[in-house]
Amino acid sequence: MTLELPIYLDYQATTPLDQRVLDAMMPYLTRDFGNPHSTEHSFGWKADAAVEIARKQVADLVGAQKSEIIFTSGATESNNMAIKGVAFAHHPSKNHIVTIKSEHECVLACMRSLEKSGFKVTYLDIDQNGLIDLEQLSAAITDRTSLVSVMAVNNEIGIIQDLKAIGEICLKKSVVFHTDAAQGAGKIPLDVDRMNIDVMSISGHKMYGPKGIGALYVRKDTAIIPLFDGGGQEQGLRSGTLSPALCAGLGKACEIALLEMEKDDIHIAALSTRFLDKINIGLNHVKLNGGIEDRYRGNLNLTFEDVKSDLLVADLKDIAVSTGSACSSASAKSSYVLKELGLSEKDISSSIRIGFGRMTTKEEIDEAVNHIIKVVQNLI
């Protein structure tokens, strides 16, 4: 069997679309093109029925009620709505928010924007494993705090925060708990009730669904205001015409993820072990960034001592990997997440992220490892 090149190992930037997802979307891109908000004829009813089935599929993935799911354009929008929507709904009596230093760029950008509007934000440290200290979290919450926002799975290093413990603290202190679950939904078990999550952001294209769609889970009776005004769709929280095709795609992606999470997990853990074993046999001085436990196994952020990662990535022509997050790569800054982990500037500039998932094969992993070993040996 010949391998198809290039090999895609950048699953945190985006995932391939599952063929079953595309199949679920097609009717709404072609024959059933109606506007789901048209209530006067069957074109609208059909489109609306598709949206509502999808809403139930998204809700089921995270243990939510169907009425608590709002469709958005993706996790960036969901995060903006969650953070600003909850912050302003509690303003001015509560003006303080707690988050963590390793959040996704869009969450940190929301925080900076709120700071400009007069809010106070506490940014919690992460330890060398990538985890926050729960006592520090607890101590940071005051009676002026409205919101705690802590991501589920980190996009650069794959570390999973202890959402259940964080949720318990937030419940006890009566603050809203939001989690950016863009890298977690469909990959690790998430349950909004068991984890006391009040608001959760989901992205379609990080879980084998289409780009341009996401969801926001909002627990019933959570105080939140919409970001924009319009026709009042999505319970007044997100005006604008929904795309039934994109909704159906996200719904199908959630349905598949729920059914196949264990199977995906076993597959990905095996690939991860295989990759690490082989790379450590072939090369000395490769370091995994973040703890080995509490990790989504499809994300391996590695430091190749004394090798410049930009040269490594450039020389790995047929292997698509990245030096960090796709989201802030336009600015060519070095990774703030690795910095918070305690890496030196030198080690940060020697690190790459390898991401794989449902569609990755053993053969691709083997080929990629061989290639990386060869290129690294040339660069040392």
Q: Catalytic site residues?
A: 327
Residue number, 105 or 364, with CB nearest to ligand PLP:
105
In the complex, minimum distance from the CB of residue 242 to ligand PLP, in angstroms, rounded to a whole number = 16
Residue number, 58 or 372, with CB nearest to ligand PLP:
58
Residue number, 94 or 205, with CB nearest to ligand PLP:
205
Encoded tokens for 379: 């660069």
Q: What angle do CA 232, 98, 74 make, to 5 degrees?
A: 40
User: Which positions ≥6 away from 53 have C-beta within 8 Å?
Assistant: 248, 251
DSSP code string of 197-228: -SEEEEEGGGTTS-TT-EEEEE-TT-----SS
Q: Contact at 8 Å (CB) between 257 and 186?
A: yes
Encoded tokens for 181: 């679950």
How many Cα atoms within 13 Å fall on the side-chain side of residue 323? Answer: 23
Taking the chain, what is the end-to-end CA distance rounded to the nearest angstrom? 32
List Cα–Cα distances, 266 to 100, 184, 271, 353, in angstroms. Answer: 30, 16, 9, 21
In the complex, minimum distance from the CB of residue 184 to ligand PLP, in angstroms, rounded to a whole number = 8
- Give dist(CA 218, CA 67) in Å, integer: 9
Residue number, 122 or 299, with CB nearest to ligand PLP:
299
In the complex, minimum distance from the CB of residue 166 to ligand PLP, in angstroms, rounded to a whole number = 16
- Give dist(CA 296, CA 259) in Å, integer: 18
Helix ranges, 31-74 (H): 42-62
In the complex, minimum distance from the CB of residue 177 to ligand PLP, in angstroms, rounded to a whole number = 16
- Give dist(CA 359, CA 132) in Å, integer: 32
At 242 the three-state DSSP class reads: coil
Q: Contact at 8 Å (CB) between 37 and 45?
A: no
Pairing, β 299-304 against β 145-149:
unpaired
User: Which positions ≥6 away from 233 have C-beta within 8 Å?
Assistant: 37, 239, 240, 241, 242
Query: What letter does residue 131 receive in the DSSP assignment?
Result: P
In the complex, minimum distance from the CB of residue 301 to ligand PLP, in angstroms, rounded to a whole number = 13
Encoded tokens for 101: 């230093």
Residue number, 76 or 149, with CB nearest to ligand PLP:
76
Query: What letter does residue 303 receive in the DSSP assignment?
Result: E
Q: Applying CB under 6 A, which residues contact ligand PLP? A: 74-76, 104, 106, 151, 155, 180, 182-183, 203, 206, 214
List Cα–Cα distances, 231 to 43, 49, 50, 190, in angstroms. Answer: 19, 19, 20, 32
Residue number, 126 or 375, with CB nearest to ligand PLP:
126
